[in-house]
Amino acid sequence: MTTLPLEPPPATQAARPVIPGRPVLLGRNTGDRLYRAALTGLALSLPLLLVALVFELSASAWPAITRFGFRFVWTSVWDPVAGVFGAAPMIFGTIASSLLALLFAVPLALGVAIYLTEFSPKWLRQPVAFLVELLAAIPSVVYGLWGIFVLIPFLRAYVVPPLRAVLGWTPFLQGVFYGNSLLAGGVILAIMIVPYIAAVSREVLLAVPSSQREAALGMGATRWEAVWTAVVPYGRAGLIGAVILGLGRALGETMAVTMLIGNRHDIGLSVLQPAYTMAAAIANEFSEATTNLYQSALFEVGLILFVLTVVVNALARLMIWRVARGTAVGSRAL
């Protein structure tokens, strides 16, 4: 196979010394140009996809946007028959279930990350990290199944009664617990986002220079003090980024939440009551949305959800980049 330039050198070059490899290095070879064009074409598909996505969502949501304006976000009447749509309960439920999930997932995930980077014996690190990351491989619908038949009976039998006994007077534990509830959705979401937060936190902690640890230990700190006063503060921005990344995951999670949260258009403080999320609303109602306005309202819900997750994810990336500049921490989910 010839590797010399295909076209003969122009006559003017006769005066100068001919360097056979030069056109190759500059990418002037026909094959090179084709290769680059092909790759560029493939790469352009992603921006095009995003533009198409935003355009389609906006266009489909437009009737609802113009009809309801900002009322769509504030009001909570969702009446397909009357053609009145207010998404406040879903927005509330999405945020509430995600925050509840963070409440459980953050200590768990940080515990995993800190233990694996700072305390565990070396031989244990890879296997345990792999096991925790496997949590991310479990399909959402399988989480939902497990939640319906294992988690909810467990919560009903062993978690809710003692919780009620101690904290039953707070507004968060009012009402009858039927199973499908904000609590069930929040717990399943927590398990689902632990691997993401843990993986990114671990990479952040690994990126903390060991001089930080050594300095703290050298000054007489115990191992925990070294971790808590030197390592964790150094990686704080990245850890917060990891948590926000987990939040982004939780906001958009669909199947497991749809199966567990109870799907009721209602805003309530009690975690024992059913709630609704934006993703669940789309999953449940999209196929039965018969009128144009109904469908458009669901598209607007999708648009709000999309914008929310984009903002949250962008925020997370910024925080993570601040710690691990240059390295692609967190792009490798799972």
Give the one residue of 13, 19, 22, 31 binding other proteins; rule: CB under 8 A: 31
210 binds other proteins (CB under 8 A): no
189 binds other proteins (CB under 8 A): no
In the complex, the smallest distance separating the C-beta of residue 226 from other proteins, rounded to whole angstroms, is 9
Out of 36, 175, 218, 292, the only residue in the binding site for other proteins (CB under 8 A) is 36
253 binds other proteins (CB under 8 A): yes
Contact 86, 71 (CB under 8 A): yes
Residue 105 to residue 253: CA distance in whole angstroms: 15
Amino acid at 172: F
Q: Does 279 bind other proteins (CB under 8 A)?
A: yes
Nearer to other proteins, 25 or 103 (CB): 25
CA 83/CA 295 separation, integer angstroms: 11
- Closest approach, Cβ 158 to other proteins, in A, equals 14
Rounded to the nearest whole angstrom, what is the least distance from the CB of residue 310 to other proteins in the complex?
Answer: 6
**Cβ atoms within 10 Å of 53's Cβ, excluding its own:** 13
SS3 per-residue string spanning 192-250: HHHHHHHHHHHHHHHHCCHHHHHHHHHCCCCHHHHHHHHHHHHCHHHHHHHHHHHHHHH
Among 13, 211, 222, 291, binds other proteins (CB under 8 A): 222
Residue 66 in tokens: 């113009």
Pick from 19, 73, 77, 142 the residue near other proteins by CB under 8 A.
142
Closer by beta carbon to other proteins, 103 or else 310? 310
Q: Looking at 19, 150, 167, 269, which residue binds other proteins (CB under 8 A)?
A: 150
Under rule CB under 8 A, residue 202 binds other proteins: no
Q: Using the minimum distance from each CB to other proteins, give the nearer residue, 270 or 316.
A: 316
- Write the CA distances from 169 to 81, 84, 163, 166, 229, integer angstroms: 38, 36, 10, 8, 37
Cβ-based nearer residue to other proteins, 43 or 82: 43
Question: Which residues are 262's β-sheet partners?
Answer: 275
Angle between helices 182-207 and 122-134 (to 10 degrees): 140
Q: Does 103 bind other proteins (CB under 8 A)?
A: no
